[in-house]
Amino acid sequence: MTTSTGRTTGEHAAPVRTPPSVRSSLEFSNENGLDYRDYPVLVVDDEVENLQAFVLNFRNEFTVETADSGDAALEKLRERDFAIIISDQRMPGMSGVELLEKTVDVHPHLIRIIVTGYTDNESLISAINQGRIYRYITKPWSPDEIQITLKRAIERFALDAHNRQLVADLRREKAELKRMVQEQTLALRQANERLRKLAISDGLTGLYNHRYFQDRWRREVQLARRYDEPLSLMILDVDFFKNYNDTMGHPQGDVLLKEMAMLLLRSVREVDLVARYGGEEFVVVLPKSQRTDAIVLAERVRSLVAQHAFPHRDIQPGGRLTVSIGVASFPHDGGDAGQVIVAADKALYRAKKGGRDRVEAASRSAADEEAMALSAQEQDLDLVIEDDGTAREAALSATDLPQASGIDSFRIHALKSADDDD
Ligand code: GH3
Ligand code: MG
Ligand code: MG
């Protein structure tokens, strides 16, 4: 705001001429650069002669404005900022104390001075006690007393304004610091999360890696043991992958592994954990799954893979891209985590030996055979639409694999039981 003398006023414009630092109130004295005229004074009195006398006495040293009533003073306060209000107590209408009390909420930083002849007035004393009034001056006042009071009041106002500015600066810096800390904490958390994911992921397929699988598998075995729950494991190995790599090149082999990973993820349940065991081998952990359920799921996965239109699958033996799967369960096929893996691995080896594109369970029982047969029957239903021999021949040749003397045992079983049912 600009005063009638053209100066900038108000607490925001308090003339702090040196950078904010720890300064005592004494340093704010005139000798140290405080210009009292930068801090407007509003003098209120119902007697015009008093106002004139005040202006005459102090207009050179201070910026003085006048009001001849409480209402006029409030109006002036609305129009511009003042540092000091000095009011006569005894005025018609609104008393000085009433006026000063009205300014407390709207202009909390204003320095309030009362001029009174009634030093024992109760409301005046209570107002002073409540800290709302900075000083009271008794009538008749002397110019010296007013002058020194105004100077000290302005110094106090400037110091308060300066302190408020420091506090605001500190608050802002604190908020900025807090924001920075929050930002960096978030960035750190995100970086840690990325690192954690990297540490447990397989770089090529994005599946969990071998290390994570080993950890989880051990934990799952512990849980299964503690809660006496079934737990199964599938190990898959891509059939003739070397042939695919040799023919199509390693990069295309990589593409195939990624697609295989996606297919596996889509084929199993939410709760199952798919990981890349290494090379072209994958594992699926099946919590709460009996081995019969696991065998059925493995058969489903095998079938989905065999049916999936992988790019360039035609260059593979049999014209399809297939997997062999070994299944083992805890505690049926091994008493600890390592033993079950070995059992699944052996079953996988048997699946390979037995002709590939097939599921083998560790030490299969008759019930397992039946479950697998039913599952295969469902999935290969399109192969046994007809119930006569011709149809079966057609179905058999459609699934024929040159390297495995034609058909895997599940399919033959499935076809037979389909026949039996008829
Ligand atoms: P089998 O049916 O007996 O499993 O035969 P296979 O050819 O799949 O098995 P083999 O162990 O002979 O070959 C596996 C191939 O997998 C050899 C290796 O180069 C390839 N391989 C392993 N890891 C990767 C990989 O990350 N990317 C690619 N493109 N190939 C890989
Ligand atoms: Mg292999
Ligand atoms: Mg292989």
Of 317, 232, 223, 237, nearest in space to 282 by CA:
237
Using the structure block, give the residue that is written with the tokens 């849980």: 223
- Ligand 3 centroid, distance to 280 Cα (angstroms): 6
Kindly report whether the peptide bond that precedes residue 317 is cis, defined as omega within 30 degrees of 0. no
Starting from the CA of residue 240, give the closest ligand.
1
Of 81, 220, 233, 222, nearest in space to 161 by CA:
81
pLDDT tens-digit series, residues 347-379? 999 999 999 999 999 975 566 566 656 665 654
What atom of ligand 1 comes closest to residue 278's alpha carbon? 23
Q: Where are the domains of the chain?
A: 22-171, 201-377
- Ligand 1 centroid, distance to 80 Cα (angstroms): 85
Q: Are 374 and 350 in contact, with CB atoms under 8 Å apart? A: no
Q: What is the CA radius of gyration of the chain?
A: 46
Is pTM beyond 0.75 here?
no
- Ligand 3 centroid, distance to 253 Cα (angstroms): 12
pLDDT tens-digit series, residues 306-315? 999 999 999 9
The helix (run of H) or strand (run of E) holding residue 143 is helix 143-200
More confident residue, 169 or 15: 169
- Ligand 2 centroid, distance to 237 Cα (angstroms): 5
Q: Is the pLDDT of residue 411 over 70?
A: no
Decide: residue 187, CB within 10 A, 0-12 exposed, 13-18 middle, 19+ buried: exposed
pLDDT tens-digit series, residues 332-345? 999 999 999 999 99
Give me the DSSP letters along 213-257: HHHHHHHHHHHHHHHT--EEEEEEEETTHHHHHHHH-HHHHHHHH
Starting from the CA of residue 258, give the closest ligand.
1
- Per-residue model confidence (pLDDT) at position 140: 86
The highest-level CATH class for domain 22-171 is alpha beta
- Substitution site in 202, 245, 312 for ligand 1 pocket (most atoms within 8 Å of beta carbon): 245
Judge if the beta carbon of residue 172 lies within 6 A of ligand 1: no
Stretch 25-33: mean pLDDT: 51
Average pLDDT, the chain: 83
> Can you tell me the distance from the alpha carbon of 335 to that of 44, in angstroms, rounded to the nearest whole number?
97
> What percent of the chain has pLDDT above 90?
70
What atom of ligand 1 comes closest to residue 250's alpha carbon? 29
What atom of ligand 1 comes closest to residue 239's alpha carbon? 2
Stretch 238-267: mean pLDDT: 97
* 71 φ, ψ (degrees, to nearest 5): -65, -45
Judge if the beta carbon of residue 271 lies within 6 A of ligand 1: no
- Per-residue model confidence (pLDDT) at position 126: 72
Q: Are 359 and 409 in contact, with CB atoms under 8 Å apart? A: no
How many Å from the N-terminal Cα to the C-terminal Cα in the chain? 101
> What Cα–Cα distance (Å) separates residue 321 from each residue in 1, 60, 136, 167, 245?
83, 101, 100, 72, 12
- Per-residue model confidence (pLDDT) at position 116: 85
Residue 259 annotated as catalytic: no
Residue 2 is classified by DSSP as: B
**Torsion, Cα of 44, 49, 52, 53 (10° steps):** -100
Residue 271 is classified by DSSP as: T
The SS3 call for residue 137 is: strand
> Can you tell me the distance from the alpha carbon of 234 to that of 346, in angstroms, rounded to the nearest whole number?
11
The total of other beta-carbon atoms located within 10 Å of residue 367's CB is: 12
Judge if the beta carbon of residue 242 lies within 6 A of ligand 1: yes
Give me the DSSP letters along 157-187: HHHHHHHHHHHHHHHHHHHHHHHHHHHHHHH
CA–CA–CA angle 223, 229, 234 (5° rounding): 85
Of 95, 102, 142, nearest in space to 123 by CA:
95
Q: Are 98 and 130 in contact, with CB atoms under 8 Å apart? A: no
Q: Specify the CATH superfamily of domain 201-377.
A: Reverse transcriptase/Diguanylate cyclase domain (3.30.70.270)
Of 25, 78, 68, nearest in space to 45 by CA:
68
Q: Is the pLDDT of residue 15 over 70?
A: no
Question: Which pair of tokens denotes residue 250?
Answer: 């390693």
Of 418, 421, 422, 413, nearest in space to 384 by CA:
418
Judge if the beta carbon of residue 238 lies within 6 A of ligand 1: yes
In this structure, the residue with its CA closest to atom 19 of ligand 1 is 242
pLDDT tens-digit series, residues 44-87? 999 999 999 999 999 999 999 999 999 999 999 999 999 999 99
Residue 142 is classified by DSSP as: -
Q: Which member of 11, 65, 220, 280 is catalytic?
A: 280
Question: Which pair of tokens denotes residue 401?
Answer: 């694999």
Question: Which pair of tokens denotes residue 263?
Answer: 């297919």
